[in-house]
Structure 1
Amino acid sequence: MTSATMNGIDVVRPRKPWYRLLYVQVLIAIVIGAIIGWLFPDFARNDWIKALGDGFIKLIRMVIAPIIFCTVVSGIAHIQDARKVGRVGVKALVYFEVVSTFALIIGLLIGNLVKPGAGLAAKPDPAAVAGYLKQASEQKPVDFILHIIPDSVVGAFAQGDILQVLLFAILFGFAVLALGKRAGALPGLIDETAHAMFGVIAIVMKAAPLGAFGAMAYTIGRFGPQALGNLLGLIATFYFTAALFVVVVLGLIARIVGFSIFKFLAYIKDELLIVLGTSSSESALPQLMEKLERLGCSKSVVGLVVPTGYSFNLDGTNIYMTLATLFIAQALGFDLTLKQQIVILLVALLTSKGASGVTGAGFITLAATLAVVSPTLVPGMAIVLGIDKFMSEVRALTNIIGNGVATIVVSAWEGELDRDKLNAGLGRQIDTSDIETAITTD
């Protein structure tokens, strides 16, 4: 049995059967998709199978922009002190930079200790990565800053660019805040619109198992188990490093704040499995924001930290960039000096900030990092080109976990973390397996 509160009254609901739980359905779909892709690769490579995964992600992305807008505007509009927005933003950015640095350092340490690329003696084909290098060279820091400013408000929503929508939402939120009583029913209307958008998400999420099946079947069918080949060592090392970062670094941060990282992982298991099945952290963004609010984080902090974190707090991408850079250097026989590795760390701190603003995110930012450290390393990207897909899932998983922890930390830092809700949510005293239920009872 599980409990929930409706109009101040505790309501006891029977626990759902296991086969109706979303994360169970997604997990089963992932396993079936992997088996189909392995046994029937020709069928799994069918465009219609691929469309299942792509279509689900598009359904999620179509409502991300309005959800971000409504959540941020609502959060700012209900703030009595306008200075709080700037204070929360500064705290979030400080946290992002500190934790991102730890992620980069761990990637460098593990890469130097394990040396996954040593002895590979690879001879890559530079033509295979020419397109990625071209995109990376075109993404200059000043271009990234200017890209945050949309050509038009409508264009920002049409393209679904999170940073552009976030910028307009912040400006609009301050404008509503400045109107005061003249804003009338506008803040309430925005709140109700946000609830409606989460209702759309609840409907779309029913298709999550189908999307996860299509994405996993197509991936295995196209690349096959043999795609791992000689690069299994890099994949295993990256998986281990990401797990080490989550358990040790994020686990220590969670312990300092006063919660268990393992209980938090169990709390967002639905979202993690959706990310695993779709290889896209954006596919779980709306549900993550909803769950963090129900976990006791204030709406204003959630609305500012989560969207910003998707561009400025990419822990998984940071680990990938330092580890992959060392792997490529080792595979090509380059012995990077301490100075060069420090340069990798500093450059990656900058290039990772644009990871969500370009196509091919992690792989293109890797090209940008290699080009600055040593142009001779860039052709080595062809070595990891074939397995990048198998590492993208872990990048996305680490990123979403990092952003969830960051939101709780900043909420606690601001003194706006409801400890009772936090303990109840992580203690599984409240049923969070169905977002639609929470939306209809709020």
Structure 2
Amino acid sequence: MHSPTLEMTPTAKPRRWYTHLYVQVLVAIAAGVTIGHFAPATGEALKPLGDAFIKLVKMVIAPVIFLTIVTGIASMRDLRAVGRVAAKAFAYFLTFSTLALIIGMVIANVVRPGDGLNIDPASLDAASVASYSEKAHETSIVGFLTSMIPDTFLSSMTEGNILQVLVIAILFGVALATLGERGDRALSLLEDVSAVFFRLVSIVMKTAPIGAFGAMAFTIGKYGVGSLANLAQLVGLFYVTSILFVVVVLGTVARLAGFSIFALIRYLKEELLLVLGTSSSESALPSLIAKMEAAGCPKTIVGLVVPTGYSFNLDGTNIYMTLAALFIAQACGVDLTIGQQLLLLAVAMLSSKGAAGVTGAGFITLAATLSIVPTVPVAGMALILGIDRFMSECRSLTNFIGNAVATVVVSRWENALDPAAFRKAISASNPAARDTEAALLAAE
């Protein structure tokens, strides 16, 4: 079942350019940057607009994930296939998350962005990162695994923990799939409820430009574009590395799977602009689920890959972790051996899972990694605290694209992707491809 919010009628008139959500979000981002730059105090005061939008989205994330997974598994019936999909998804996540960590480490060693700063760790403001270090110590692998189990069935929904919702939804879906005729009646009801929630998502998304405007005005107003100046090399290096990862690594994966990474990015342009404006990939999670289903990916695969990918497939966060950790070491004059760097990579691989689902996960994960590898001073994080918000946008964008690619690839591996629906969705987002397709149909 595809989301009713994304269906289009063949006779629909072309929409005016200013009615498209991505245009409105783009204008809102530009307006937010302008307000934040020329009236910083006003920009900071607009923070509640961004916060309110994020809360609206988080309000619907848990039920959307629950309903998508439950109805997908229950309609699939073959529980062995569900296990097979999960295994393939985790194999993909492990491979590319590790590759992202390695790429960040290699780039940091080649470019060495921290050389020459000669920072004395004792001169750094350790108090500024104390709260992140405390949260990092609270997150451990054992604690992470036990926290996946909610206190009650409903608490998974009220607390908004994606992994808890995932666990409950899988168990509920499996139980529903084994009920036979009674399960069919319940499944039909849940599919109707699912349609209501996706319509609710479309209503919430209409407020996206307001949220993007408030979030961007606050970011520029509080931190200022000038805060990038001193650490521009690190910020630029992170953005370039992430772009190369998307274009080269994910682009190659997409090509092998039979599609263009650029076509997929065009298809998701509204969501990507929303992520850029809010610095949160969660703001576009419900819409990503709907669009992946509309593009021909089965509901079961979408329901399993997207939510788990938000915790386990953090390509942008992983690039950031090794790049930032080695930057801090270089800036503080700490020479790490290859063995120490490999230890750092191994710890980062684990801690990136341990801090999943935590607000500000990228920075907290970095704190967790540095606290376990004492060679690099945790206080060194104060060097990048001021620019973390700008780097957060790139982390979120890379994570988002990585999960979209993973969903299509796993669907391909399962031979479950609807080629016609996928081509239609991708070409509809590409005016040139759409015009060519129309010309071919006319010729026939």
TM-score (norm 2): 0.93
What corresponds to 1:119 in structure 2? 116
Name the structure 1 match of 2:233. Answer: 233
- Give the deviation of 1:373 after TM superposition: 2.1
In the alignment, the residues of structure 1 paired with residue 9 and residue 160 of structure 2 have an alpha-carbon distance, to the nearest angstrom, of 39
Task: Judge which range, 140-149 or 128-137, deviates more.
Answer: 128-137
- Aligned residue pairs, count: 423
Match of 1:293 in 2: 293
In structure 2, distance between residues paired with 1:173 and 1:220: 44
Q: Which runs of 5+ in 2 are unaligned?
A: 432-444
Equivalent residue number for residue 33 of structure 1: 32
Query: What is the Cα deviation at residue 375 of structure 1?
Result: 5.0
CA contact (8 A) 2:329 2:376 kept: no
**How far apart, in 2, do the equivalents of 1:335 and 1:223 lie?**
31
Matched, 1:427 2:424: no
For residue 354 of structure 1, report the CA deviation from its aligned partner.
3.0
**Contact 2:25–2:212 (8 Å) recurs in 1:** yes
Q: Do the aligned partners of residues 306 and 333 (structure 1) sit closer, same or farther apart at CA in structure 2, a change above 3 Å counting? A: same
Superposition pairs of residues 41-190 of structure 1, within 5 angstroms: 41-46=40-45, 49-123=46-120, 124-190=124-190
| Separation of aligned partners in 2, 1:56 and 1:79 | 34
1:309-328 matched pairs, under 5 angstroms:
309-328=309-328
* Structure 2 partner of 1:339: 339
Deviation at 1:50, TM superposition (A): 0.7
Change (3 A) 1:222 1:430: closer
In the alignment, the residues of structure 2 paired with residue 9 and residue 224 of structure 1 have an alpha-carbon distance, to the nearest angstrom, of 41
Q: Give the aligned residue type for 2:344.
A: I
- Over 3 Å counting, the alpha-carbon distance change for 1:340 and 1:227 in structure 2 is same
- Partner amino acid for 2:217? A
**Structure 1 residues 276 and 430 mapped into 2: Cα distance closer, same or farther (>3 Å)?**
closer
Alignment of 1:243-392 (within 5 A): 243-392=243-392
Report if the CA contact (8 A) 1:301-1:411 is conserved: yes
Deviation at 1:15, TM superposition (A): 1.8
Aligned partner of 2:99: which letter?
F
Q: Is the 8 A contact 1:61 1:283 kept in 2?
A: yes
Cα RMSD of the aligned pairs, angstroms, is 1.6
Question: What does the per-residue CA deviation read over 1:90-139, in whole Å, with 9 as the maximum and x for residues that have no partner?
Answer: 10000000011111111011111111111112242222212211111121
Identity %: 56
Amino acid at match of 2:62: A
Q: Is the 8 A contact 2:144 2:355 kept in 1?
A: no
Deviations 1:355-413 (A, max 9, x none): 33323201010011112222542110111111111100110000010000000000000
Could you tell me which residue of structure 2 aligns to residue 438 of structure 1? none
Asked if the contact 1:313–1:403 (Cα under 8 Å) also holds between the matched residues in 2, the reply is: yes
SS at match of 2:11: strand
2:210 is matched with 210
For the residues of structure 2 that align with 1:29 and 1:379, how far apart are their CA atoms?
Answer: 36
1:231 deviates by 0.7
* Amino acid in structure 2 at the alignment position of 1:162: I
CA contact (8 A) 1:122 1:383 kept: no
Instruction: Decide whether aligned partners of structure 1 residues 119 and 184 sit closer, same or farther in structure 2, where only a CA change above 3 A counts.
Output: same
Letter in 1 for 2:254: A
Alpha-carbon offset, residue 430 of structure 1 = 9.2
User: SS of 2:178's equivalent?
Assistant: helix
User: Is contact 2:328-2:376 (8 Å) kept?
Assistant: no
Which one-letter code corresponds to 2:79 in the other structure? Answer: A
Partner of residue 440, structure 1: none
Paired residue type of 2:292: L
